[in-house]
Structure 1
Amino acid sequence: MSTHPQDAQALIDKIQSLPRERIEEVEDFVDFLKTRAGQRKTAAKAKKHLEFPVVSVGEWPADLSLRREDMYGDDGR
């Protein structure tokens, strides 16, 4: 991300106009943003696709019906 020098200078001027304790808060927030950005990069690199085991139980019976009524019966609902 590139910043125009005027934008950066305007931000610096705003920060410098703050009381000292507020400048410390801004500094803490900037440190937090940098840390969070680093954590996101690390998490993105570490993220792996889950691999679940596949168990083959053979072919399904040709006459198998997956209709609800055939599986659970029809109780009139």
Structure 2
Amino acid sequence: MMHWVWTVLIGFLAGFVAKMITPGKGPSGFIMTAVLGVAGSVAASFIGQRLGWYGAGNTAGFIGSVVGAAVLLLVYHLVTRE
């Protein structure tokens, strides 16, 4: 149970940092910021495992989560043209 709490908290922080470093207006609110960060972490973990940066079962760290969230936010901006 605590794993999910930490995942959401780290995801929120990663999403918040990604929103601060990415230009433009993005989705707002605690829930959307946390979802953005968690999705960025999952994306960074998946890509990192495929590229051999992380072993099976390892997850991306905070920096990888921020990078993943920033990439997702840039894709959001491209799709919505905001």
Q: TM-score, normalised by structure 2?
A: 0.30
More helix by share: 2
Q: Give 1 or 2 for the bigger CA radius of gyration.
A: 1
Q: TM-score, normalised by structure 1?
A: 0.31
Q: Which has the higher contact order (CA 8 A, sep 6+)?
A: 2
